[in-house]
């Protein structure tokens, strides 16, 4: 029998959103065009207005205001999202993620090939 599909709770929404954001950063160009930079900035700035968890959105807006997005290229953007995510991890009492491992986690997969 099919299991009932429930609406996402805060954690499921968060995992899905981080998956999208980190993956978008992992595939962002090394040398983005001015239009791509503008579009990425628009995406980031839309989150505090539209993310459907009010207190999450509010804190994320404060974080963006404190640390302006680095949309200069893939490496800088990936690091910027990693740092913002780590701020949420810290707030929730989770261990910090090692930002040097961002590409392995979101683009390349582990060296042992277990994700190939």
- CB-nearer residue toward ligand FAD: 72 or 86: 86
For 102: left if phi > 0, alpha if psi spans -120 to 50, otherwise beta; the answer is alpha
For 51: left if phi > 0, alpha if psi spans -120 to 50, otherwise beta; the answer is beta
Out of 40, 44, 77, 82, point to the residue binding ligand FAD (CB under 6 A).
82
- Build a one-symbol-per-residue string for 22-61: x at contacts with ligand FAD by CB under 6 A, - elsewhere: x------------------------x---x---xx--xx-
Residue 33 CB, shortest distance to ligand FAD, in Å, is 25
How many other CB atoms sit within 10 Å of the CB of residue 77? Answer: 24
CA dist 110 to 16, 23, 69, 84, Å? 21, 15, 28, 23
Out of 11, 65, 111, 116, point to the residue binding ligand FAD (CB under 6 A).
11
Out of 34, 65, 92, 111, point to the residue binding ligand FAD (CB under 6 A).
92
Residue 12 CB, shortest distance to ligand FAD, in Å, is 8
- Build a one-symbol-per-residue string for 59-78: x at contacts with ligand FAD by CB under 6 A, - elsewhere: xx------------------
CA dist 45 to 40, 60, 70, Å? 9, 10, 12
């Amino acid at each position: 029998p099919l299991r009932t599909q429930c609406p996402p709770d805060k954690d499921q929404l968060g995992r899905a959103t981080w998956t999208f954001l980190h993956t978008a950063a992992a595939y962002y160009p090394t040398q983005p065009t001015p239009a791509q930079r503008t579009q990425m900035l628009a995406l980031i700035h839309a989150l505090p207005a539209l993310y459907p968890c009010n207190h999450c959105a509010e804190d994320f807006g404060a974080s963006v205001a404190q640390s302006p997005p680095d949309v200069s290229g893939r490496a800088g953007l990936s690091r910027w999202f990693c740092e913002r995510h780590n701020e949420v991890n810290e707030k929730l009492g989770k261990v910090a993620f090692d930002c040097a491992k961002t590409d392995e986690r979101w683009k390349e997969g582990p060296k042992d090939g277990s994700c190939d």
